[in-house]
Structures are given as structure tokens and as C-alpha cells.
Chains A and B, each alone.
Chain A
């Protein structure tokens, strides 16, 4: 019943943790809003890796990990669309997208 790869699960979880922490780091050092969006995508992917890893390594056969990953991907697409729309709007209003200098919610 086991596949031939023989990779233990902690290995995938470690990659997921690395991706998450890199995303966290990017979130902290970037100032431009698009850079922050990129970091968010990294963190979402880390979560996806963990979902799929647990889903496919579980002793009880379950498909839930993959189904939830599909939902995460859907919502990530939605989040990127809204985020980029906001970024473009802010750029049009202020000619920059520096997250430190944006303070108004209504122009």
C-alpha cells in the first residue's frame, strides 16, 4: 500500500515551515504592498503543503486535505484579485504603494 518514494512526513512539514517563515520574513521587510502580497502567497502555499501532507499521510484514508487545499487556492485567488485592485487604486491616487505612507482609508 505504500508508494515507492519513502519520504517521511516531517520532511514535507519542514519545507512547509520554511516557506511559512520565509513568507513571514518577507512580510516584515517589504514595504511595497505588492511585495507583501507575494509574501502572503508564500505563506498560503506553506499551509497548502501541510494540508496535503497530512491528508495523504493519514492512516485513515481521507481526501479532506486536498479538498481544503482547493478552497485555499480559490480564496487565495480572490484575495490576490482584491488586493491588487486596491493596490492599483492606491497607486492611481497617490502614485506610490508604500505601505508605510498609506494612512487614509477615504481620499
Chain B
């Protein structure tokens, strides 16, 4: 419960705090909270991956980008001109809809499908995950590596200084 409170509270911080650097730091806190939720759901490997990749890499990268475009922090930087109350209402309606769907769902509340008491103690070690990655899911795995290569090249090309300007 406390973990969920931290996660959701920090997420609110991400969207509500005008200073984008602080918002990014709150994003880090949210991601740590999500990692804690992964542990509760019996997925410790994913928690480690979450902390290493999300908190360690993605948050750092975002903060670096904020520093590189640092004038953004100074110019009050846009909480928007749009109606925030309308946006909050839309998000709230969406949440209510999702919550009612979850609580009323026949499939989720059927004990034949979902274990009511808690997460199953199945084989969740790294070994099981790696076997799943390399046997049934080997095609998406290879596809992901191709995508990563393309992203690596693409990010360098996009962020590179235009030779005409230099």
C-alpha cells in the first residue's frame, strides 16, 4: 500500500510540478516504486532490470537532455494554456471506466483464471526468462535487437550537428 502511494504520488509530481528537472527526478522515484511493485508481484528479475535500465539509463538520459536544452527550465516552461480542469476530468473519467471494468470483469474474478490469494510461486528465475526469450519468443527478441541497432544509428544521425550549420 505504501509502495503504491509512493508510486502514484511521485507520478502526480511528474505531471504537476512545473520545473521539468524536478519532474524528471520524480519520474525516477515513480520508476523505483514500480520496481517495488514488481517485487511484490514475484518478479525480482524485472525489478532489477527496471532499476538498471529505467532508473539508471532512461532517467539519466532525460536529465541530460534537459541540461542540454537548459533554457527550457528558466522560461517557466509550459504548464499549458489548455484547460487543465478539462484534462483532469477526462483522465478521471478514463480512470473510473478502467476501475469499474477491472472490478466488474467476469474473467478476472473467476478463480479458474486468476489466483485470488496472491501471485503464484511459479518458476520465475532468470533461467526461466532466458529460456522463454530464446525458445518461443526468439523472433521478437531478434527483432528487438534490429530495432535497437536502427535506433542507435538513427539517434546519432538525428542528434548530430548539421554540417551545413557548422
Chain A residues with a Cβ under 8 A of chain B = 1-15, 17-26, 28-32, 34-35, 37-39, 41-42, 45, 48-49, 52-53, 55-59, 61-64, 66-67, 69-71, 73-78, 80-82, 84-89, 91-92, 95-98, 100
- Kindly provide the distance from the CB of B55 to the nearest chain A CB, expressed in whole angstroms: 11
Q: Is the CB of B114 within 8 A of A56?
A: no
| Chain A residues closer than 8 Å to B66, beta-carbon distance | 34
Residue from A22, A66, A96 within 8 A of B124 (CB atoms): A66
Q: Is the CB of A30 within 8 A of B78?
A: yes
- Kindly provide the distance from the CB of B141 to the nearest chain A CB, expressed in whole angstroms: 8
Given known pairs A45-B31, A49-B34, A86-B158, the reply for A73 and B53 (CB within 8 Å) is yes
Q: Is the CB of B8 within 8 A of A91?
A: no
- Kindly provide the distance from the CB of B19 to the nearest chain A CB, expressed in whole angstroms: 11
Q: Is the CB of A77 within 8 A of B14?
A: no
Q: Is the CB of A7 within 8 A of B118?
A: yes
Tell me the count of chain B residues lying within 8 A, CB to CB, of chain A: 88
Chain B residues with a Cβ under 8 A of chain A = 4, 7-8, 11-12, 14-15, 20, 23-24, 27, 30-31, 34, 37-38, 40-43, 45-46, 49-50, 53-54, 57-58, 61-62, 64-66, 68-69, 71-72, 75, 77-82, 84, 87-88, 90-92, 94-95, 98-99, 102-103, 108, 111-124, 128-129, 132-133, 137, 140, 144, 147-148, 151-152, 154-156, 158-159, 161
If A12-B41, A22-B91, A75-B147 are given as contacts, then 12 extra A-B residue pairs at C-beta distance below 8 Å, sorted by A number, are: A7-B118, A8-B118, A20-B94, A21-B92, A26-B15, A48-B34, A52-B38, A70-B129, A73-B50, A74-B144, A84-B64, A84-B155
Q: How many residue pairs between the two chains, A and B, have CB atoms under 8 Å in the bound complex?
A: 264
| Chain B residues closer than 8 Å to A100, beta-carbon distance | 80-81
- CA–CA, A92 and B158, complex, Å: 11
Residue from A4, A5, A8, A63 within 8 A of B116 (CB atoms): A8
Residue from A52, A59, A78, A80 within 8 A of B115 (CB atoms): A59
Q: Is the CB of B118 within 8 A of A5?
A: yes
- Kindly provide the distance from the CB of B94 to the nearest chain A CB, expressed in whole angstroms: 5
